[in-house]
Amino acid sequence: MTDFEVPPPPTGPVPWDKPFALALLSDLLRIRRMEEKAAELYGQQKIRGFLHLYIGEEAVAAGALRALLPEDNLVATYREHGHALLRGVGMGPIMAEMYGKQEGCSRGRGGSMHLFDRARRFFGGQAIVGGGLPLAAGLALADKMAQRVALTACFFGEGAIAEGAFHEAMNLSALWRLPVLFCCENNRYAMGTALARSESQTDLCLKAASYGVATVRVDGMDVVAVYEAVQRAAQQVRQGNGPVFVELQTYRFRAHSMFDPELYRDKKEVEAWKTRGPIHTYSARLKAQGVLSEDEFLALDAAVQAEVDAAVAFAEAGTWEPVEDLLRDVHTRHEAST
């Protein structure tokens, strides 16, 4: 067990009209059902390589992405399926990418950790811990120099804060007042080490504030709190006030990856955190205020499941890249002989 205590589940009324409230519920369900299916397909060896699931953390992507605009840039980690999906990348191309089929959003060459869609300004999942941070600063610098009114939202885990890239990106973003929204998904264990075992200073907002960056801490299991916090933070960035650091305190219910034996945390702790699951706590709040009935929930879930089934069919019907195309987009430098 760790020193982290499980806070009570989020409660209270949802301050949105019914269409928007149900749209957020749909977002949560689309991520959850897609990833549950991905785990099943991995067990069948339809999906291979690395697979990092977002189950339990859905409120972060669902709330945050609703607060962003189409012209904003988005940079994510290797746990990025939900971010890509809610950014508008089709579930079919995402599933095909995980299969390694050329109909995938990265032509089957990237797999689970390297989803990408330039048209939607989704600049990829990054397999290297902290690898997206310098990229986000660069994208924001380009927007600022071109006088484009846009921000770059960069998602990363708390483990990335131990990387030098975090400090370099924070320093330059603050120094040059770059329009970056730093979204730290603090799931408390990084790859498999509790935060207090890897960081002498566990107050992540304090670390960001040391660079003169505005910070906010939010319950990342509460989609309402996430949306409202990110919306305010994004507005602050858009007004030219420089970067903002948002710590989203969340918890993953599954192992770090499909290869993780998960020996570093007590199963009772995981079960305790599941009482704060973002889908059932949010749907319970909607039901309590008469915005959602059980039949509506089941219908919404069925529609999402149909989308998942169609995505799997799309991936199954996909094709492998022909051997003669393997050198496509591969560039080499040939030195002139002397």
Residue 78 sits in a domain of what CATH number?
3.40.50.970
Q: Is 3 contained in some domain?
A: no
Which helix (H) or strand (E) segment holds residue 154: the answer is strand 152-157
What does the pLDDT read at residue 52?
96
Q: Kindly state the tokens that stand for 73.
A: 């840039």
Give the chain's domain count: 1
Which one-letter DSSP state was computed for residue 256?
S
Task: Give the number of C-alpha atoms closer than 13 A to the C-alpha of residue 253, restricted to the C-beta side.
Answer: 20
Predicted TM-score (pTM) of this structure:
0.94
The rounded distance, in Å, linking the Cα atoms of 135 and 10 is 34
Q: Is 11 contained in some domain?
A: no
Residue 44 near residue 93, CB atoms below 8 Å: no
User: What does 33-49 look like in DSSP terms, one character per residue?
Assistant: HHHHHHHHHHHTTSS-S
Residue 169 near residue 137, CB atoms below 8 Å: yes
Dump pLDDT digits (tens) for 49-94.
999 999 999 999 999 999 999 999 999 999 999 999 999 999 999 9
What does the pLDDT read at residue 242?
97
Q: Is 148 contained in some domain?
A: yes
Which one-letter DSSP state was computed for residue 119?
G
The rounded distance, in Å, linking the Cα atoms of 249 and 246 is 9
Q: Is 332 contained in some domain?
A: no
What does the pLDDT read at residue 335?
66
What does the pLDDT read at residue 327?
87
Dump pLDDT digits (tens) for 122-142.
999 999 999 999 999 999 999
Domain span at residue 141 reads 18-314
Q: Is 197 contained in some domain?
A: yes
**Which segments of the chain have a pLDDT < 50?**
1-2
Q: Is 169 contained in some domain?
A: yes
Q: Is 326 contained in some domain?
A: no
Q: Is 325 contained in some domain?
A: no
